[in-house]
Amino acid sequence: MKGIYKFFNDVQLDKKEFIELDVSDFEKAQVKKRLKQSLKKKKKGVRRWRQIAVAFLFIGLSGTILGYTFPAQAGSIPIVKNIFQFIDGDRSFLYENYKEFSTAIDLSEVSKGVEITINDALYDGETIFITYSLKSKKKLGDQLRIHDTSSSLKDADGMAWGSEIKRVDDYNYVGLLTVGNFGTSVGDTAYLVWNIDKILMEKSNTIINGHWRFAFSVEATSKYTQIVNKSSSLDGINVTIRQITHTPMSTIVYVRQQLDQHILDYWDNIDLDFTMTDDMGNNYDGLNHGGRGYPHDIRTGKTFGKVDERATTLKIMPHVRLMKSSVNDYEPIEEKNAFGETVVRNSTVEIKDFKEINLEPIVIELKE
């Protein structure tokens, strides 16, 4: 309850407090946009981004299962779906029926009084999701971090690992490991080695050194790929839908983004995103993959929820956000702010130019 706002009805501010500052339409639009994002986040929970390498940003997908109940919380999270949301509510829309398609791994390793168990794994041909649980004899605190070394995914030439772990009670934690391969195919079976060597307790900043080593394989779920190769372009930006892969839980759209040199020369930041609808009036939520390639030619993709079986066409609407920013370093100068107070500045970062481009939608006939 945020009851304090009720009290604010009775407070009078002095007239001198009511100051208005000039606001541009652009600023208003920025504020609205930010608010919308915040409201969306609130609805879905917190979205986490992980920067993996320079210029490569990967947003892990997740799917999870735990055939496991925790005595202390048995009443509150006994259902698989709830545990999934427990770890990452933001992405749960993607794998509502993943339980049917996941593989039970059930491997446990004990070291230094800490038992780590790999529960289940799911591989959709693109990303591998692994759920694990951690049981300790001692209290480990609210926040843990799992550190691994020389872990690998066979045949992958680039990987993005993301691990999240959450406390269930004083002695139990559940976690989700996401492994992506930047779009290179590792085949229908993924062979993984996960080698945990440290558990960090964030609050007390203490480390448990141990050995928890897992090696296992996961078969990809059945999938069907439709080659599309349809493009849409405008003003030097070309977006091609390469293929669509349907898995029992998701729909993965593979995209190629090509940019003319003049776009790269002028703009500093180029963000491609796309939304997807079908002829049954559904809007799909999705999560962007990372990209690989060169600035002028990037292969990327997005994983959406499973497409409605009654749909016969998909409509993909690409939009690109372009931003030019500038950092100006200069000799410190004094200037007056809006209130006549003196401030010293020696560098500024500002958005010099901003543009949003909506490309023509790409319509795809779905094949049986």
Partner 1 sequence: MKSNEKNFIKRLKRQKEDALEYVVDQYLSLVKGVIYKVLAPLQQDYIVDECINDVFLSIWDNIEQFKGGTDDFRKWLCVIAKFKAFDYYRRAVKNREVSSEHPDLLIDPSVEEVIIQLENQEELVKLINTLDAIDRKIFIMKFFIGMNTKDIAMQVDLTGAAVDNRIYRGKKKLQQQAIELKLGGNPT
Amino acid of residue 199: I
Distance CA 364, CA 313 (A): 5
Residue with tokens 């940019």: 259
Contact between 139 and partner 1 by CB under 8 A: the answer reads no
Stretch that binds partner 1, among 18-26, 109-117, 170-178, 313-321 (CB under 8 A): 18-26
Stretch that binds partner 1, among 241-249, 263-271, 275-283, 331-339 (CB under 8 A): 331-339
Contact between 8 and partner 1 by CB under 8 A: the answer reads yes
Contact between 343 and partner 1 by CB under 8 A: the answer reads yes
Distance CA 96, CA 249 (A): 7
Name the residue nearer to partner 1 (CB basis): 28 or 203.
Answer: 28
Name the residue nearer to partner 1 (CB basis): 36 or 230.
Answer: 36
Stretch that binds partner 1, among 131-139, 150-158, 178-186, 339-347 (CB under 8 A): 339-347
Name the residue nearer to partner 1 (CB basis): 2 or 352.
Answer: 2
Token output for 232:
């849409």
* Binding test (CB under 8 A) with partner 1, winner from 26, 31, 154, 297: 31
Q: Which of 22, 35, 133 is nearest to 86 (CA)?
A: 133
- State how far the alpha carbon of 144 is from the alpha carbons of 147, 163, 173, 367, in Å: 10, 11, 9, 46
Smallest separation, CB 29 to partner 1 (Å): 9
Name the residue nearer to partner 1 (CB basis): 9 or 205.
Answer: 9
Contact between 330 and partner 1 by CB under 8 A: the answer reads no
Contact between 72 and partner 1 by CB under 8 A: the answer reads no
Question: Would you list the DSSP string of 125-183?
Answer: SSEEEEEEEEEESS---S-EEEEE-S-EETT-SS-EEEEEEEESSSSEEEEEEEEE-TT
Question: Which residues from 37-66 bind partner 1, rule CB under 8 A?
Answer: 38-39
Question: Which residues from 289-328 bind partner 1, rule CB under 8 A?
Answer: none
| Helical (H) or strand (E) element with 25 | helix 25-44
* Binding test (CB under 8 A) with partner 1, winner from 46, 327, 338, 368: 338
Name the residue nearer to partner 1 (CB basis): 5 or 204.
Answer: 5
What value does the CA radius of gyration of the chain take, rounded to a whole number of Å?
Answer: 24
Q: Which of 91, 2, 93 is nearest to 46 (CA)?
A: 91
Stretch that binds partner 1, among 35-43, 202-210, 219-227, 241-249 (CB under 8 A): 35-43
* Binding test (CB under 8 A) with partner 1, winner from 100, 341, 365, 368: 341
Is residue 157 within 8 A of residue 184, CB to CB? The reply is yes
Distance CA 192, CA 214 (A): 8
Contact between 21 and partner 1 by CB under 8 A: the answer reads yes
Name the residue nearer to partner 1 (CB basis): 334 or 365.
Answer: 334
Q: Which of 231, 148, 222, 232 is nearest to 192 (CA)?
A: 148
Smallest separation, CB 176 to partner 1 (Å): 24
Name the residue nearer to partner 1 (CB basis): 13 or 54.
Answer: 13
Q: Which of 298, 354, 320 is nearest to 56 (CA)?
A: 298
Smallest separation, CB 338 to partner 1 (Å): 6
β-bridge partners, 354 = 323
Q: Which residues bind partner 1 (CB under 8 A)?
A: 1-14, 17-23, 27-28, 31-32, 34-36, 38-39, 337-339, 341, 343-345
